[in-house]
Amino acid sequence: MRTRKLLNGLWVPRWISPIVLAAVVATPYMATAQQGSWGNTFVHNSGNATLFGAHTFVAGGAGTQPGIIKTARTTPIGIVSFGPAATHSGANDAGHIDGYVGKYGTTAFTFPIGNGTKMRPVSISAPTSGDFKAAYWLENPNAATLPAGAPFPVANLGTGVTAVSNVEYWDIDGPSAVDLTLTWDAASNVNTLAGGNLSNLAIVGYNATTSKWESLGGTATGTLTGTGSVVATGVTPDNYVAFTFGSVTAEPTTPDLRPYLVLLNVDFTLPTTARSFTVRVRNMRVGTIATNPVIVRIYKPSPTSTIALTGAALTNWTVANTPTYYTLTSNLDVPEGTTGITITGNITLPASVPSGTHPLRVLIPDLSGGELATDNGNNEIIGKLTRN
């Protein structure tokens, strides 16, 4: 398709509607050419207007869409692209690109995109490779018809995501990992979304494979009721079909200890008065380590019962005896997983204990190994000893 070059540094195919563009400064080198736009521009399907110099958005003026360059959003999209060395300035609510913006090259870039009345830019750090593009929708993802894969139900929540914005979303494409920045203003209503807590705010991406909004993390700065931005690191845009703000729950960083009790034989039939037992202390929280001291209480099934440690437990645990329970303290850390650390020993049920069932209670006290009291819901197990 034959094209015409309106001004140095700007190539415009003939399928683009009449444009009001002027060169502020024109030089023989595209990398240093400068352009300005006053809007009233539409890039049709399959159209691509590529800028190679320093572009200035100029708001105001006459026409149907002063200050706004618009592109086709339906496939095949129209797009305004910025070359490897191209820059822009002056973009705002009254002067930006309503549609798709592309970026060539490996430099950091802010996409001057919006919906024609509101500018809502996206920024990426310098990618290692590949071309990127982005567009913005001031629309509930539930009602989305574009891009391909829409709609994006905000009730489809991935792990750790508690809520998703129903105000706006972005389509961002690119093949390599970048740091991704989204911005908000008061109309974004992120204060309600995040429950008034800035640390709850993150970027979420809609995974077309799982059909869920997944947390990409992020560090938010600004004022929830005003303006601000959130940055997620190491995001590969092509892995997701839409992006927006989400509220997330922080992953706990403290261990979660739970006891597991093994009794090889729970029947105490006279003259037997002792049986072996094993208690395994497990840390069930991924990515954490319970540090010593790890404390376990084994309650006596009867006031006259005794416990004697065996094997490695003799050196790995110290024992303190009280009238109702034994307190065992370990000098070992407990990494995540079901293996944990082990207590082995023998427990007695003296002949004087009457027949019937007697409980053997194992408890991990609050704060043991660095866990929080709120994680103690599963910190107790009760076995049964039977005197025949």
Could you state, in order of their start, the residue ranges of all structural domains in the chain? Answer: 3-248, 257-387
- Asked whether 50 and 91 are in contact (CB, 8 A), the reply is no
pTM score, two decimals? 0.64
List the helix and strand counts (H, then E) for the chain.
2, 35
User: What's the mean pLDDT in 203-225?
Assistant: 97
Q: Say which CATH topology domain 257-387 has.
A: Immunoglobulin-like (2.60.40)
Burial 122-141 (b: 16+ CB within 10 A, else e): bbbbebeebebbbbbbebbb
The reported pLDDT for the residue numbered 375 is 64
pLDDT in tens, 56-108: 998 766 666 778 999 999 999 999 999 999 999 999 999 999 999 999 999 99
Residue 210 has pLDDT above 80, yes or no: yes
